[in-house]
Amino acid sequence: MNKQTTKRVITLLLVAVISIGIWFFEQKSTTDVPKVFSSEFTLTVLGLDKADCIILQRGNTVVLIDGGESSDAGDVVGFLLAQKITHIDVMIATHPHSDHIGGLDDILNEESIAVDALLTPDIPEDEIADSVLVRNFNQAVIDSGVQKLSCEPGDVYDINGDIKLTVLGPIGKDHSDLNGWSAVVRADCGDVSVLFTGDTIVAEEERMLQNPQIAALLDCDILKVAHHASTTSSSMNFLKAVSAEIALITARADADDEYLMETVIGRLTELGSKIYDTRHNGRITCTQNDGHLDVNTQKTEK
């Protein structure tokens, strides 16, 4: 099946997508995915240097969250192909910083990987500085013909009944810092829930906490800690609301910068989360076996 044909098919599949207004959130959001308690769930955080690339798989459904730096693209594409991932249902580009979208154009341009849909915040053009990075990404989006999805709080996407994505943020439209525009997305994979935060900021966390419908969805089993565990994010109130069993940090490789993570790691420790970071653990893989979440780490490869 060539890429164009695949895209037409996914257009039909995404008829199942439920994109709803925030006011109807409560009554509709629980109707989609049946509970499955023997899921084949895999979450992989690649062991990059302070850059996000995360792959979520359940059944035959694949969601990719960010793609590392441009310099990581070879490793990212190589990992996907080594895992025989030739099809991505939804690519999430949390925000247009190099450590998140840098490698995404190479994935979109890769002939042997079909990407069906792109979920990324609709940021006003004048908020994004013109750069080779952004131009390459935008061109790859155009060239690939990938379907762009709405990324407004309350949008819900049921992907093949395997993974349900719910957009929780960004709520605000007034951020001078692109990190504040980060897509915050909850993924429900059977009975496992994961919160992807990009590099969101404390002001957005406050908005999510103050919105009752959004706040009710923050409690998740696994948290991708925002902004590489820097204190621009991860207020104690937000971490308490999430109350994650497992916290995953895409950390800096430089030990001299480790102190930048200490405050947030202290909060997570106080809350009893099991903490993994890419500097110490390398590639991190979470799976679900017999109802339990297992975490495996692989330091020698990305």
* Distance in Å, CB of 134 to Zn ion, minimum: 15
* Distance in Å, CB of 93 to Zn ion, minimum: 12
Task: Using CB under 5 A, pick the residue from 110, 199, 221, 277 that binds Zn ion.
Answer: 199
Q: Does 99 bind Zn ion (CB under 5 A)?
A: yes
The verdict on whether omega for the bond into residue 34 sits within 30 degrees of 0, i.e. cis, is no
* Distance in Å, CB of 100 to Zn ion, minimum: 6
Phi, psi of 63 (to 5 degrees): -120, 130
Give the bridge partners for 56, in sequence order.
Answer: 43, 63
Site for Zn ion in 127-146 (CB under 5 A): none
Of 18-26, 57-65, 96-104, 143-151, the segment contacting Zn ion by CB under 5 A is 96-104
The Cβ-side half-sphere exposure at 271, using a 13 Å CA radius, reads: 26
* Distance in Å, CB of 225 to Zn ion, minimum: 11
Sequence-ordered strand ranges (E) for 68-107: 87-92
DSSP secondary structure, 8-67, as one string: HHHHHHGGG-EE--GGGHHHHTTSSPPP-SS--EEEEE---SS---EEEEETTEEEEE--
* Distance in Å, CB of 209 to Zn ion, minimum: 22
**Of 177 and 219, CB closest to Zn ion:** 177
Q: Does 110 bind Zn ion (CB under 5 A)?
A: no
Of 125-133, 163-171, 194-202, 264-272, the segment contacting Zn ion by CB under 5 A is 194-202
**Of 99 and 277, CB closest to Zn ion:** 99
Q: Does 158 bind Zn ion (CB under 5 A)?
A: no
* Distance in Å, CB of 95 to Zn ion, minimum: 8
**Of 188 and 199, CB closest to Zn ion:** 199
Q: Report angle CA 189, 190, 193 to the nearest 5 degrees.
A: 50
Q: Report angle CA 17, 143, 199 to the nearest 5 degrees.
A: 60
Per the rule left: phi > 0, alpha: psi between -120 and 50, beta: everything else, 272 is: left
**Of 154 and 180, CB closest to Zn ion:** 180
**Of 99 and 221, CB closest to Zn ion:** 99
**Of 17 and 265, CB closest to Zn ion:** 265
* Distance in Å, CB of 213 to Zn ion, minimum: 27
CA distances from 107 to 16, 86, 103, 143 (A): 25, 10, 7, 12
Q: How many residues bind Zn ion (CB under 5 A)?
A: 2
Contact residues for Zn ion, defined by CB under 5 A = 99, 199
